[in-house]
Amino acid sequence: MHILFVDESGTPSKPDAVEKSYFVVGAAIVPEHSWHPLRDALLGLKARFGIRGEIKWRYFAPGNDESRNPMRGLDAATRNEIRSAIYKIVAKDKSIRTLAAICSPKAAYALPHVEDQGDIYHLAYKAVTERFQFHLQDISAPGRRELGIVVCDHRGTQDDKRLRAHHEKLLHSGAEFVANYKNLVEGLFLQPSNLSIGIQIADLVAGAVWRAYQKQDTQWFDLVKPTLRRSHTGEVNGYGLVKVPKFNWE
């Protein structure tokens, strides 16, 4: 069994205020045998630095001293040391793969079926979950189908309800441009990020990719890149890193 943990970074532009900004859905594929070692390594890291609480991308900003930030009071160098260590923990386990979809809202709103910010999220979500399905197909063997489940960050009652419906539609679509999700088990699982180490990892993936494209700062993306899903020839674009929509992306 493989678990796809999903979170996002950035806010989709509204239809009437499209700017050159990006929205990223990031994900981490964690095989069942890797989950406990990943959790134990992260808990050990947090214990060494005296961190008690949720790890989030925005908490690493030097000036972020929110009351919920377990790193408040730490200087920028220490926060960066912690962040680097987390990415290295993920990269150390070669069975853990990451995915990210970078959506250009301007190009997305040119599509007839994209009308609002929720549709932007769903477009990027589709790209990520399809690559998860392709990954499961790639590692399956005759007589042994690798299965997976999807766990997303809880965002709010209405957003969750709409995403569940979108997920079910993808599973049973049969449309020409939708993958056959035959390796996925059950429906969508939703979990508050503070209760899920996997979602916190997905948040760090999404944040690093968003910053690389939005701010042209690849410091953290360079640590994520080795973990991205890739083709048998080593290609990342279209495999672990997907630009959506496919046409007119800018």
pLDDT, position 176: 57
Is the backbone peptide bond immediately before 15 cis, with ω within 30 degrees of 0?
no
pTM above 0.85, yes or no: yes
Average pLDDT over residues 228-243: 96
What's the pLDDT at 11? Answer: 84
Burial classification of residue 102, based on how many CB atoms lie within 10 Å of its CB (0-12 exposed, 13-18 middle, 19 or more buried): buried
CA atoms of 206 and 228, how far apart (whole Å): 12
Quote the mean pLDDT of the chain: 92
Please state the domain extents for the chain.
2-244
Cα 111 to Cα 66: distance, rounded to the nearest angstrom: 38
Strand runs (DSSP E) across 104-166, as ranges?
148-153
Nearest to 220 by CA among 119, 42, 49, 81: 81
Tens-digit pLDDT profile for residues 71-94:
999 999 999 999 999 999 999 999
CATH 3.40.50.10490 fits 2-244, yes or no: no
Instruction: Tell me the C-alpha distance between 215 and 184, whole Å.
Output: 35
